[in-house]
Structure formats: structure tokens, C-alpha cells
Chains A and B, each alone.
Chain A
């Protein structure tokens, strides 16, 4: 293994539409993720954080810049190359209710990526049991439909599907936002444990600073399609530099009522500062 980053995007642009209707969603985004590392990506809805994940997955085309994976350029990969890359890059989506096909049994959902990569069905079936075990789901889940499971259990199945091909990078798009608090923590713990065991890297997208802080080694903050701050998780989440990150930090609710009142006061200060800055311009 080398020290080379696993995933890099350099000066990545993504835009929807053409001509006058052209709408730039990502502007000049450069990030890198090392093997075994989690890069947290925070931002509000519409900031472009999900689009970055989809660009890495090849679900939206880049309109400028490059995406590199393991030393090769994957910006404009044909369908065949993409299919090969499926072994290395996988995804866990936000909503476990729509990311699993309701008409398919768990067994079929999990064996599908394996069979698509040419693995025989007997081997695939054996592997699927191991996968369920890894995400702490009982083996008898295999012949049931996703609707018979709770949100947290469904998300475990989605993680198992992502792990099926032993990928080296998983794009996690708000994987715990739809879950209850205690379930949220258990799923995060599972993701961390899997990372420690398999050295998989995560691009972890979330709007929740606290969640990102828990799982990330480094954190990137996205605002209106640009990365405005990037650094160590502790640094970004404790001593944010960019005004937007500071506002985000202050808006994050805490459970200590007194601390929360202090944060509220700080947020009001920041807002007033910003207003002043705008007016002085």
C-alpha cells in the first residue's frame, strides 16, 4: 500500500442545464480521501453535497475538472468501466425506505451485486450469510421483504449490500438522518467498526455537524457549491474559521439548556456581525 490518496477530485464542476438556464451546482471542488479514512462533508440542503457524492458514483456527469480513483481518471468512464468500478466504489443512501426495492427479498437484494459481477449463485448465497452476520442481522431475514424491517434494520441491509463486493470506498449520503437517535448511534458504530476491520474509506455526507464529528477523520464544509473549509475533524468542529461554519456550529442544538442558551447568544452575535458586514459593503 502506498500513501497515495484513494479518491481525489480536482477543480470539479457540475452544472445542470445548458446555456442561459445553466445552473452551477458544484464549483471548483477539490478533495481527497485516503484508504481507511473518513472525510465528512457537511452543508445545508441545496449546498451541493449530495451532488458531489453522486458525481463520484458516476450518477451525474462532471462538467469540468477531474475525478481520480486509485491513480486513474474516472471522470468520463464508459458503462463497462463503471461496472468494473462497482467493485471498488459503493453507496449507502439516506432513505432506507426507498433505497431497497420493495418487491425483492433481502436475499435477492444482497446477491444481486455479486451475481452482476459474475459470481456464481451458490458462492453468492454463502457470502450473503456472512454479510448479514457482519451487520448483525439474523440469518432468517434473507427470505423476507424490506417492508418487514424497521428503518435501522433496513439501513443495515443497505450497508450489507454496499459491503458485498468488498469496496474500497463507500459514499454514505446522510445514512443516519432518517433514523431514531439510539439507532443512529448504533449504525454509526457499525460503520466505524467495519472501517477499522476492512480499511474501507468513507465519503460521509451529512447536514448534522455532530454526526460528522463522530465518524470523520477530516471534515469538509460545503456552502453554495464550494468547499469553504477543510481540515481535521476536531479543528473544524470545535474552532471553525469560516463564517458559515461558525454559524452552522452555533445553530447546532445541544442538550444542556445553559450551554444551548450560550450558543443561541453566540449565534445572534454572529448573525448581527454578518448583517453589519453586509451593510458596510
Chain B
């Protein structure tokens, strides 16, 4: 049901570029990339840019405060230049991050892809091995290694890389399993691609985002962990390292506490840069929707349109009280001059352009159009289901004579709930998989009425029986995955009609169903309508549904109504060119194809 929304929003000419170019538009990402670049450049150029050799001792400058001598950042407790040692330590940090991340990636990605793509025995064996790895306590293993054998920091980082690989492995394995079932992977197999090529090109390309993010976090972590090990005094104490400097400063704390600042800042900045870069990647890849504040929304809508649009879109304002007036003897649903816009990047796109429609008591109206016609947006506005980004620019929606636009949210939902009910398109995705059908029906009934739990259950059971479910008790106790799509749609219809609404809004109620089930659900809707005399508004792209069910039809195209009238008249004698085109596109009684002589002989054989 979000399809129409996304087409509406994406109809603006926004061309998405590659993720790296998108990342560059994020200031935080640019800043952290620059920091990381500087760190790497310093690490490479360090022999040439260090002002003094890092081990050179000048006793006169022992614990020299910063900015007082030619030791710019001061001297440490042995009289060595802190700046030089800081620069020298960069290399260790970069190498630690590089080794840990690349080893973890190499192992985790390779085995994750194999286990996820080929499954079966590959999956069981590698999952078992990585489960053992994940159980190994990293730091303790490292300290043991340092004590037992004389380990260098790179080797320690490599070990840590192996120990961190399960995180990558499980991520890659899960992602690969999802992608493996995508149709484009099947298409690639049918195209004759080797498994190696499919994994390398299709799978890896599709899952690269989360891997990049995790690798950035791991690299940041690697710097912190290596510093931690050096701080503990593991590794070669002669090598100038950030962790070693921290330790020197720590033991010197009561004499020159400021010495902690420099290595601490270096560590903090480098680690933060990695983590922030990872975050920026995540935001870009997952398209984080930054929800603007109500005030920002108000200002945006007011500047794009005007103050009344603010009240109509956001409701509950001072002017809204005046809007919530009631008109006697009105139609059941009366939409007048409704305009709905979206403003991606502050450019206004209109998806519903000043449409008016009425549904009377006992009337069945079909709203037809192709995707992007605005039909779903129109009924979503009436149902109060418009996405947050939508702007109601002007118009009015009256339900039983009461204006809904601008009404405070609480009153509106109560009012809608008791008067109007909704049957969605995808029955199974509109049921919560973790609750039984029964509990969802009872909850719906109790929100709308003051019924006791027992009465609500009775009502739910009798309604389930009414919508043609043969064993209501069993369906009541079932979870959504235990029933078929047709049954789920019946259950949702039961939920919709349980509280006897005056208006039933159905959005493509049969599109996801098989033809035979579709016919049965249409029968059900027709019977229920006759029995209760409720008004029905059916949104559909299928003219057959309209022909089967509706009294009146409204044809929409690109946000406007092009034609409306009684079904028999419009279908027999369509006035608008677009209606004629659509009706002509229906493959009712088309000629079948001429058989080729060759095909005939095959049939005869």
C-alpha cells in the first residue's frame, strides 16, 4: 500500500547518484574522511615530518610544558619530544586498523559468502568453526600470546582480526542468504554465469554497504584495542606508540597531567573519525529519514503554500476549530476540491489535483486509475493514513457532514473508527504475525466500542462466521501465517464490518488474490453491502472489479478525475479518451493467435 506513495514521491526528477558521491554531500562524512586522510598521510610521511627523532632525550626539557620550547607539544618524563612521538605513533595505529580490518574482512567475507550462497554442508561446517571463534575470549587470548611467545603488535592485530571475523561472517552469511533468493540472482544463473561470478558480482555488490559500515567500526575499534594493549605494556616498549605514551603520561600524572591530553586526543579523534564515517555510510545507504520538527514542518508548508494548508495537514490548530464545522443532510463521504502535494527537496509536486467526489449511504463507488493516478492518496487522505511527508494543500473531506481536515487527532481517529472502516490490499502484510487473528480482531473492536472482552470475542466469532469462514473458532485461534491469503482477507473484512460502519473503504481488496478467490471475496463484499446498506468506496485498477461490484465509477488520471458516472453508462459509452484507452486495454474477448503450421503438426503428433 505504500507503492503509490513511493511513485508519487519519486516522480520528482531526483536522480540518485553512486553512494560515494552521496556520501560526499554529508558534511560529517567529509570531515571524518579528511581526518582519516591526514592520519594516513602523516603515517606515511612520518620519517620526514618528525621534528626530532622520537627517542632523542634532552634532559633539560624533561616534562617541559607545551608551547614553551622547541618541543612544541612539550617533553615527556624522559625529555623526549611529544609531537615527534605522537607522529611516530600514527604508523602503529594505522597498521593496527589496516591489519585487523583486512584480516577480519578477508576471512569473514569469504566464508560468509560461501556459507550463505552454497548453504548445506558449507554452512554447517563454517558456522560451527565461527561459533568456536566467537566463544574465544579475545583479550585473554592476546595476553596469553604475549606472555607465552614474543609477539609483535602486527601479529597481535592479525590474531585479533581472526577473532573479530565471526561478526563479519554472520553478517555476510545472513545478507547472502537473503540475496541468494532474489530473482536477479536466478536470472544470472539462467544467463549462464558461473557461481564464482554470481557471488562476486551480484551478491557482493548488493551487500557491500553493511560490510563497509562494519569494517569502519572494526577499524576504529582496532586502534582503541591496540592502544589498550600498548597501555598495558604489551609489545615492544621501545616503539613510540599512542598507547605507550598514554602509559608514560599516566605514571607521570601527578607531575604533568596535561601529557595525557595529546595521545588521548589523537586516539579519540582517529577512532571517532572511523565510527562517524561508518555512521554516515549507514545513513546514506539506509536512507535515514530525518523527521523535521513540527515547527519546521509548519514553516515549510506555510512558505510553500499558506496557513490554511498548515491547519489542514497538521490539524489541531487554533483555526482548526472553525474548520471542524458540521453540515446537516450531507453525503456520507464528501470530498471537495482536494489537493495533496509532496515537497521533496522543497520542490512542490502535486499528486492529487483538486478532486471532488461523493459517496452516499448504500452506494458502491469504484475509483479506478493506473499507478500514479492519485487514487490511493485520495482515500488515504480520507482515512487519515497519508504518510507524514504529505501536504494537504486545500480542500475539504466531510464524513457524515463533519469536516475531518484540521480536526484534532484524537477526535478524528475516534470519529473515523466508528463511521468508516478500511480493507487493505495486502491482507497478510496487514496482520501482525506475532498475534492471533482473534486477538487482533478483539483489540480492534474494543478500541472502537466499550465492549467487554467476552462480548468482543463473541462479536468477533460471529462476524468471522458471517464472512464465510467455516471454522471460526479455529481461525480465531490461528496466527496469520497459518491461513491463506483469501482467508486473511476475509478476516480483515470481518474486522472492518464488526462495528457496523456506515462507510467501507477498500483499497485494491482483491488484487493480491487468485482469480477464483477474488470472485468469492467480491461476492462477500456485495452480500455484506446489501445486508447492511453501508456505502462502499472501492479503489482498484481492475475494471472487472468495478463491473462486478459498483454502481458508479470515477476514473482518475495523474491526480485528476477525467470521467465519472453510472457504471453501465460509462462502460457502454465512455466519453473521455483515457477511459476508452483503458477499456480497450482490457483483454476481454480478444482474438486468439493464428496457429503456425509447424505448431499444428506438433499438436497432431
Chain A residues near B (Cβ < 8 Å): 1, 3, 5, 32, 34-38, 44-45, 57-59, 79, 82-87, 89-91, 93-95, 98-104, 112-113, 116-117, 144-145, 147-148, 151, 158, 161, 164-165, 180-185, 188, 192, 207-211, 213-218, 232-234, 237, 247-248, 250-258, 260, 264, 267
Interface string of B588-605 (1 = CB under 8 A from A): 111011011011011101
CB–CB B201/A257 < 8 A: no
Residues of A within 8 A of B547 (CB): 253-257, 260
Residues of A within 8 A of B15 (CB): 144, 148
Per the bound structure, the CA–CA distance linking A86 and B198 in Å amounts to: 15
Residues of B within 8 A of A1 (CB): 598
Per the bound structure, the CA–CA distance linking A95 and B3 in Å amounts to: 14
Interface residues in B, total, Cβ within 8 A:
62
CB–CB A38/B593 < 8 A: yes
Q: A218-B603, A260-B544 are in contact. Are A93 and B183 (CB under 8 A)?
A: yes
Per the bound structure, the CA–CA distance linking A260 and B548 in Å amounts to: 6
CB–CB A161/B187 < 8 A: yes
Per the bound structure, the CA–CA distance linking A108 and B605 in Å amounts to: 43
Residue B296 CB within 8 A of the other chain: no
CB–CB B197/A116 < 8 A: yes
A-B contact pairs, 23 of them (CB 8 A): A36-B596, A44-B517, A58-B189, A84-B192, A86-B192, A98-B182, A98-B184, A99-B183, A99-B187, A112-B201, A188-B587, A192-B593, A207-B514, A217-B596, A237-B592, A248-B515, A248-B516, A251-B515, A252-B544, A253-B547, A254-B547, A256-B588, A258-B568
| Those of B561-575 within 8 Å (CB) of chain A | 567-568, 571-572
Extra A-B contacts (12), CB below 8 Å, given A34-B599, A113-B193, A182-B581: A5-B602, A86-B190, A104-B202, A182-B585, A210-B586, A210-B588, A210-B590, A232-B595, A254-B589, A255-B543, A256-B571, A260-B544
Q: A36-B599, A185-B585 are in contact. Are A99 and B184 (CB under 8 A)?
A: yes
The CB with the most chain B CB atoms within 10 A, among A99, A257, A264, is that of A257
CB–CB A145/B515 < 8 A: no
CB–CB A103/B544 < 8 A: no
Residues of B within 8 A of A147 (CB): 16
CB–CB A208/B515 < 8 A: yes
The CB with the most chain A CB atoms within 10 A, among B515, B546, B547, B567, is that of B515
Q: A-B pairs with the 10 shortest C-beta distances?
A: A253-B544, A86-B192, A113-B191, A99-B183, A251-B519, A210-B587, A44-B514, A37-B599, A34-B602, A180-B370
Per the bound structure, the CA–CA distance linking A147 and B518 in Å amounts to: 31
What is the distance, in angstroms, from A222's C-beta to the closest C-beta of chain B? 13
Per the bound structure, the CA–CA distance linking A13 and B295 in Å amounts to: 64
Residue B348 CB within 8 A of the other chain: no
CB–CB A34/B187 < 8 A: no
Q: Which residue of A lies closest to B185 (CB)?
A: A101
Residues of B within 8 A of A79 (CB): 194-195
Residues of A within 8 A of B587 (CB): 184-185, 188, 208, 210-211, 213-214
Q: Which residue of A lies closest to B15 (CB)?
A: A148
CB–CB B515/A112 < 8 A: no
Per the bound structure, the CA–CA distance linking A164 and B188 in Å amounts to: 13
- Picked from A151, A181, A247, A267, the residue with its CB within 8 Å of the CB of B582 is A181
Q: A36-B599, A148-B15, A260-B547 are in contact. Are A255 and B192 (CB under 8 A)?
A: no
Per the bound structure, the CA–CA distance linking A216 and B594 in Å amounts to: 9
CB–CB B206/A101 < 8 A: yes
Residue B205 CB within 8 A of the other chain: yes
The CB with the most chain A CB atoms within 10 A, among B182, B187, B516, B548, is that of B187
- Picked from B183, B544, B548, the residue with its CB within 8 Å of the CB of A98 is B183
CB–CB A216/B593 < 8 A: yes
Per the bound structure, the CA–CA distance linking A210 and B519 in Å amounts to: 15
What is the distance, in angstroms, from A277's C-beta to the closest C-beta of chain B? 17
CB–CB A181/B192 < 8 A: no
Residues of B within 8 A of A164 (CB): 191
Residues of B within 8 A of A180 (CB): 370-371, 541
CB–CB B596/A90 < 8 A: no
| Those of B338-383 within 8 Å (CB) of chain A | 370-371
What is the distance, in angstroms, from B172's C-beta to the closest C-beta of chain A? 16
Residue B431 CB within 8 A of the other chain: no
Q: A180-B541, A260-B544 are in contact. Are A233 and B514 (CB under 8 A)?
A: no
Per the bound structure, the CA–CA distance linking A95 and B182 in Å amounts to: 10
The CB with the most chain A CB atoms within 10 A, among B523, B568, B582, B592, is that of B592
Q: Which residue of A lies closest to B583 (CB)?
A: A255
Residues of A within 8 A of B192 (CB): 82-87, 113, 116-117, 165
Residue B388 CB within 8 A of the other chain: no
Residue B542 CB within 8 A of the other chain: yes
What is the distance, in angstroms, from A207's C-beta to the closest C-beta of chain B? 6
Residues of A within 8 A of B590 (CB): 210, 213-214
Residue B306 CB within 8 A of the other chain: no
- Picked from B186, B583, B593, B601, the residue with its CB within 8 Å of the CB of A91 is B186
- Picked from A35, A98, A161, the residue with its CB within 8 Å of the CB of B598 is A35
Residues of A within 8 A of B572 (CB): 256
Residue B545 CB within 8 A of the other chain: yes
Residues of A within 8 A of B206 (CB): 101-103
Interface string of B500-514 (1 = CB under 8 A from A): 000000000000001
Residues of B within 8 A of A254 (CB): 544, 547, 586, 588-589
CB–CB B188/A57 < 8 A: no
The CB with the most chain B CB atoms within 10 A, among A181, A210, A213, A247, is that of A181
CB–CB A100/B184 < 8 A: yes
CB–CB A257/B568 < 8 A: yes
What is the distance, in angstroms, from A80's C-beta to the closest C-beta of chain B? 9
Interface string of B538-566 (1 = CB under 8 A from A): 00011111111000000000000000000
Q: A251-B515, A260-B548, A264-B548 are in contact. Are A104 and B602 (CB under 8 A)?
A: no
CB–CB A37/B602 < 8 A: yes
Q: A3-B598, A103-B205, A257-B567 are in contact. Are A93 and B187 (CB under 8 A)?
A: yes
